[in-house]
Structure 1
């Protein structure tokens, strides 16, 4: 694991590409619950929808990355999309296209890779059963047809296209085979004459996109994966849609997915939406404006006690103990990355650093957000490591830190980052 890359990403306010599970502290209950949910999706063929609620900088994207790493370890196929002008949730066909486009598994990326890897596996099994090429092709077709049986029930054209993809590859018609995979990904710019060659009509539309998504989720399970994880970040973008009608369409698609999961139309799928409190609480543009969805998600108990089994769970700010644990981990990583003794310099002032953060957060009525603390603490480590001769005693470090905190309060990093919430 490259600790320097991780530290640079964290200091920049970004989610590291790898290693988030090891850094996920203060979220033990949440991690434990998602371990359970992923196992339930895999073993019980369940489909589940969950929502993460957290302020900017609370670690929503970071937590999604943790769940992604957990899912890869359990052999899930994962797709991560971030809602934006280019991916608005009121256009469910566009959402499907981006989910299909962003598919990943632990062995590679793309729907193309997943399909080709599966068919290659079928061919290897056929090769072991027979030395006759004609018989091998027959065995592959039979097994392929059997694996697609349940997929066919949700989107028959999806299954037909994959069957014909195998045929076209055997016939060495690679151009049309490429069109098949593009069509499965939702590409609508494929000539009718080409679609006719692989037995389909039409395209992925807003009317059939959820059926295609259901078929995709069943397909990945049927070919040997544990299931499908769909991560939907920055769901609060729905509130930026210009009219109530567009927002209602988006919220209704979420309701459709939520209900279809509960009714068993989706299988082996976990949807995880991440959004800010505004999405869940704003009565002008948020979910409360769409009663059919709000009734399904709102908390029926008025209590602050934790309940990880609610549709929505909150990512709270860090406690003092959480901050000390994270600081200790970051100090060790920094020592490894830059080959110096950070502990001797930092540990004597650690309690004071944490206390200042807790005090500053208390002035605004909240807890310390992960991003705020981590960026600040790594800045201390970087500065001290590069200027060790300047810091003769621990109080010198604390003085620099206080100056940094005063500057940060004047600049208000959280307001600057509000519209680029990588965490």
Structure 2
């Protein structure tokens, strides 16, 4: 994938996003990353360029408090995965739209958020996501290959028909029939058929009268969700990608669930971890990001079974096979890390506004706000998110006054 330089337009977008919500932008977070390099290098070297590429599968649980850098970390994983030609699905888990106790909705979220490798210009300018976009990209890539080879359209149509009919024997025959007929619908310019098929592939409903004509004979529910995920992984591999990386980000606190819902969540998580040890989940890596591991507190057998599966701790030197990635343990000196982030954001701020902040006052401002934010580390909002929001506010004050800004002046 290509690189891009920090332009004033990109810089201003970063400042507006980070200074407002405190959430990293989809492109631009790279310009102020600090402290994740060792973790990311191990994931790249030990997994994405070797074990996963060679047919393995893995599950990692990422632990980091709200505003503690989980999303930034997952975006970093996504960028590395794209570099190595993986399809990636990133999505937030939420109680109403994507609850983990409803595995059919988790499959639907994976399918709706699939993104093939993107260039910086595509990320900045906007891009399409979802299994429909991936099918279109697959179709266009195949057509381009034939046209570049100078093959006449009639012969191309025959050979593409033969090619798509020979797709592998996926666990779900309905999935195989769906992607095959979706490809042929694009070839024949049958938009309505394509949309009908994609509706089912995205888990948006099953109409027997409509879908059976495409060889789709099952609805997607909790009993078929894992079968669909396995088939999706196999198909992604068949159409030329290295594999699939799924990034699940618990973006808001999950309210109290019924005992049945909690048991379903735990069973689904246990089954997902176990599936990564089976051959049906080849070339796939799953990341489940949560604020803490309190959901494992319980006395029933399922709690103990999960605790055993999630007990090993990821360590870049001693145990890269560990399941738990604790983002706070990556920080040797949290205030120093914040200070480095702040100075990187200062450069972005200066690029955005075409100015240069006074150096001594800038260094003092960043350190003041870093210390103030870290002192709030036991609050409801992660101190990292609090810091990036407040340091942008501090830059605005420094720009106006020319004097160092204290933590108190930005509400810390």
TM-score band, normalised by the shorter chain?
Answer: 0.7 to 0.9
TM-fit CA distance, 1:117: 2.2
Q: Which moved more, 1:321-330 or 1:46-55?
A: 321-330
Match of 1:103 in 2: 114
Work out whether 1:261 is the aligned partner of 2:281: no
SS of match in other structure, 1:115? helix
Task: Return the offset for 1:33.
Answer: 2.1
Write out the 4+ residue segments of structure 1 that deviate beyond 6 Å after TM superposition. none
**Corresponding position: 1:162 with 2:179:** yes
User: Is the 8 Å Cα contact of residues 335 and 371 (structure 2) preserved in structure 1?
Assistant: no
Deviation for aligned residue 1:125:
3.9
Match for residue 418 of structure 1? Answer: none
Distance 1:137 1:164 in 2: 14
Q: Per the alignment, in what secondary structure is the counterpart of residue 17 of structure 2?
A: helix
1:171 is displaced (CA, Å) by: 4.8
1:283 CA drift (Å): 4.0
Q: Mapping of 1:5-404 within 5 angstroms?
A: 5-12=13-20, 13-36=22-45, 37-40=47-50, 43-84=53-94, 85-107=96-118, 108-127=128-147, 131=151, 133-146=153-166, 148-149=167-168, 152-190=169-207, 192-234=208-250, 237=253, 240-279=255-294, 282-283=297-298, 290-299=303-312, 307-316=319-328, 319-347=334-362, 349=364, 352-353=367-368, 356-357=371-372, 360=375, 369-388=383-402, 391=403, 397-398=404-405, 401-404=406-409
1:207 CA displacement: 0.6
CA distance in 1, matches of 2:337, 2:88: 29
Q: 1:252-296: per-residue Cα shift (whole Å, max 9, x none)?
A: 111111111111211211111110124465448xx9962222211
Q: Larger C-alpha radius of gyration, 1 or 2? A: 1
- How far apart in 1 are the matches of 2:48 and 2:97? 29
Distance 2:182 2:157 in 1: 13
Shift of 1:26: 1.2
TM-score (norm 1): 0.82
- For residue 99 of structure 1, give the secondary structure of its aligned residue in structure 2: helix
Query: Any conservation in 2 of the 1:6–1:16 contact (CA below 8 Å)?
Result: yes
Aligned-partner Cα distance in 2 for 1:200–1:116: 20
Cα distance in structure 2, aligned partners of 1:262 and 1:128: 41
* Matched-pair contact (CA < 8 Å) for 1:41–1:227: no
Residues 197 and 58 of structure 1: is their aligned pair in 2 closer, same or farther, counting only changes over 3 Å? same
CA gap of 1:354–1:170, structure 2 versus 1, over 3 A, is closer
Query: Alignment partner of 2:286: what SS?
Result: strand
SS at the partner of 1:230? strand
Secondary structure (helix, strand or coil) at the match of 2:321 reads: coil
Q: Distance in 2 between matches of 1:309 and 1:28?
A: 17
SS of alignment partner, residue 324 of structure 1: helix
Q: Distance in 1 between matches of 2:339 and 2:174?
A: 55
Structure 2 CA distance, aligned partners of 1:24 and 1:280? 29
Q: CA deviation at 1:209?
A: 0.8
Alpha-carbon distance between aligned partners in 2 of 1:122 and 1:229, rounded to the nearest angstrom: 23
Q: CA deviation at 1:167?
A: 3.8
The 2-side partners of 1:294 and 1:229 are apart by 24
| 22 and 188 in structure 1: CA distance in 2 versus 1, 3 angstrom threshold | same
Structure 1 unaligned regions, length at least 5: 392-396, 409-423
2:17 maps to 1:4: no
Where 1:240 maps in the other structure, the secondary structure is coil
CA RMSD of the aligned region, Å? 3.1
Tell me if the contact between 1:288 and 1:294 (Cα under 8 Å) persists in the aligned partners: no
Structure 1 residues 130 and 319 mapped into 2: Cα distance closer, same or farther (>3 Å)? Answer: closer
In 2: Cα distance, 1:31 partner to 1:233 partner = 17
Unmatched 5+ stretches in structure 2 = 1-5, 119-127
Contact 2:369–2:407, Cα closer than 8 Å, also in 1: no
Cα distance in 2 for partners of 1:283, 1:376 equals: 38
- After TM superposition, the structure 1 stretch with the greater mean CA deviation from structure 2, 316-325 or 195-204, is 316-325
| 8 Å contact kept, 1:235–1:279 | no
Worse-superposed segment, 105-114 or 119-128: 119-128
